[in-house]
Amino acid sequence: MILKAPAKVNWFLLVRDKRVDGYHDIVSLMQKVSLYDTLTLTPADDIVLTSDLDLPAEDNLVVRAANLLREHSGYTGGVMIDLRKEIPSGAGLGGGSSDAAATLAGLNRLWALGLDDDTLMKLGARLGSDVPFFLGGRSSLAEGRGERLTPLPIMSSCVLLLVKPGLSVSTGWAYDQYEKLTKKTVDIKLFCQTLDRKDFAQLRQMACNDLEDAVMKEHRVIAVIKDRLREQGSEFALMSGSGSTVFGVFSSQEMASRAAAAMGDHWCRVVNTLVDETG
């Protein structure tokens, strides 16, 4: 069984109060994009992970997802999981969470467990705040620590250039640096309508990331990338999640590709946001 696990971006990320469990409450609009890790699942006697990267199996979210599902279901077999990475780690693109979600959904089918979506979501939330999002639709409003999801269909696809400097940012560290709790609000319905219209001038005013200033203070290269994206013609640019990736929104694939050529040694990918097929 071959599975594609997509990356995501955050169109906005508002940080609320810190919870008793140590997480912060957030409000964020997340959307999947056309950058994928690939997982190949093959029946086996035990749970085994192979990868094109040197990944410690005991700490890997894919292995943790497989073990959690086997423990929950009582399944006695195993699986060999081959993971091919395209989504960089520590990038704010949700690669590890997406891989874990694909593992849960894929093994539910491979092992013929018949678990419903709600059960998979609850298991996913035990693995990480973003995992439930990747088990759902292509765009959702995430609240709580990220596990409370409201599907928000977006019908227009945008061209993005993802740019990641040669550093990774720990999500926990990024939230620890953030001290001033936001009072900002976003009109969710208006934001989605503006995104569908591709009204970039208004989106530029509405898109925000509360973690951005704190992360850029420590890693000035992220601010430099934002400035360079604007110089190269992006409609606007924003850090995704806890960083370190910055995405620039472009009016065409050609403009995004030209901008990528001006980003020096930074990792770059031109992608499209994924939209509902019914749209």
Which candidate, 8, 25, 6, 13, places its Cα nearest to that of 191? 13
pLDDT of residue 234: 98
Alpha-carbon distance of 57 to 236, in angstroms, equals 38
Under DSSP, the state recorded for 57 is: G
Under DSSP, the state recorded for 18 is: E
Given a contact cutoff of 8 angstroms between Cβ atoms, the answer to whether 103 and 40 are in contact is no
Burial class from Cβ neighbours inside 10 Å (0-12, 13-18, 19+) for residue 197 reads exposed
pLDDT of residue 130: 94
Q: Find the angle CA(267)-CA(273)-CA(279) to the nearest 5 degrees.
A: 170
Q: Find the angle CA(106)-CA(130)-CA(71) to the nearest 5 degrees.
A: 45
pLDDT of residue 162: 98
**Blockwise average pLDDT, block size 10, the chain, 279 residues:** 98 86 87 98 96 78 97 97 95 96 98 97 95 96 93 94 93 79 81 95 94 92 97 97 95 97 96 79
Domains contained in the chain, CATH given? 2-151 (3.30.230.10), 159-272 (3.30.70.890)
Report how far apart, in Å, the C-alpha atoms of 248 and of each of 116, 238, 251, 263 are. 37, 7, 10, 12
Count other C-beta atoms under 10 Å from residue 46's C-beta: 10
Alpha-carbon distance of 86 to 6, in angstroms, equals 9
Under DSSP, the state recorded for 273 is: B
Given a contact cutoff of 8 angstroms between Cβ atoms, the answer to whether 99 and 4 are in contact is no
Report how far apart, in Å, the C-alpha atoms of 93 and of each of 31, 38, 177, 190, 247 are. 10, 15, 19, 24, 10
Alpha-carbon distance of 214 to 239, in angstroms, equals 11
Q: Find the angle CA(245)-CA(275)-CA(272) to the nearest 5 degrees.
A: 40
Which residue carries 């929950």 as its tokens? 72
Catalytic residues: 8, 130
pLDDT of residue 211: 92
pLDDT of residue 279: 36
